Amino acid sequence: MSDAVAMPADRLARVLGRFPALAVAVSGGVDSLTLASFVHTHGLPLTVIHAVSPAVPADATARVRAMAAAQGWELIVTGTGEFDDARYRDNPVDRCYFCKTNLYDRIAGLTDRPIASGANLDDLGDYRPGLIAAAERRVVHPLIEAGLTKADVRALARDLGLGAVAELPAQPCLASRVETGIAIDADDLAFVELAERRLAALTGGGTLRCRITHRGVAVELGEGARGREPAVDALMAELCAGAGRIYAGSRPYRRGAMFVGVPAMGA
């Protein structure tokens, strides 16, 4: 059977056959968790490495720890050090390059196994300077090599019995909520994490983002969260008042809204 008609799982298994072992960088999202689970299920020696920082939601770390315990992964939890890098904190349009530079350099110091990311084929259509840092460090992308889209990854997660992981909404790092040129600040990210947790409880789910913009705090609502604007605005006005922040209102969700000076792509 040719790769063009092979099932996604078969294509991924063929890609993994090139490696004697892998170190998978796991963020806590569906892509990297599914990749790690597939690698483990297929008996390839696996090290899972999860990085913690103010930009990583606490529930993502908890999810990684829970899956590692359930599946018996070798798990390493580490810091990345990106907040020590002024190039990252300054939040230029290519901030993700400096984040991934710190991440992959840290991982390379922890393992001699090839480093794999959970990037999927759809990610190639976004503005992702982190992929440049990955290429410079010879990070491999098995899901991309196997031609798996986000929908393919979710289907694979269901086949693997990963339950709610298969339905996790896209959840880029918290720093992606900060508009280009506004310095990345741990207090801002903690506020974003709190606000999005409260908003999710209020709306019952769906795509939503709490944005730190030059005009103040804004909320973006996507499918599944629209129609609750009055309640969202009331909650955010209360949270912002309590934190001494300006609330700039709610608006429809738009990918890449925080990137200034690049096409409308991203988180």
The three-class DSSP label of residue 150 is helix
Q: How many domains, in total, are found in the chain?
A: 2
118 and 15 co-located in one domain: yes
Question: How far lies 175's CA from each of 46, 70, 180, 193, 214, in Å?
Answer: 29, 29, 10, 10, 15
pLDDT mean over 71-89? 95
pLDDT at 267: 53
Residue owning tokens 């600040």? 185
263 DSSP 8-state letter:
-
Phi and psi (nearest 5°) for 209? -140, 135
Residue 145 domain-assigned (yes or no): yes
Paired sense of beta strands 247-252 and 216-221, if any: parallel
Instruction: List CB contacts of 113: < 8 A, sequence separation 6 or more.
Output: 21, 22, 23, 45, 47
129 and 213 co-located in one domain: no
pLDDT mean over 20-29? 97
26 and 108 co-located in one domain: yes
pLDDT mean over 8-26? 97
- Cβ neighbours, 10 Å, residue 221: 21
205 and 155 co-located in one domain: no
Task: Assess whether pLDDT exceeds 60 at residue 4.
Answer: no
Domain that holds residue 48: 8-167
Give tens-digit pLDDT for 217-257.
Answer: 999 998 777 778 999 999 999 999 999 999 999 999 987 76
Q: What angle do CA 86, 49, 70 make, to 5 degrees?
A: 140
Paired sense of beta strands 208-213 and 22-25, if any: unpaired
Question: How far lies 234's CA from each of 161, 173, 238, 241, 247, in Å?
Answer: 39, 26, 6, 11, 10
Residue 20 domain-assigned (yes or no): yes
Report pTM: 0.91
Give tens-digit pLDDT for 85-129.
Answer: 999 999 999 999 999 999 999 999 999 999 999 999 999 987 889
**Two tokens at 113?**
């196994």
150-159 and 30-41 helices cross at what angle (nearest 10)? 50
202 and 120 co-located in one domain: no
49 and 14 co-located in one domain: yes
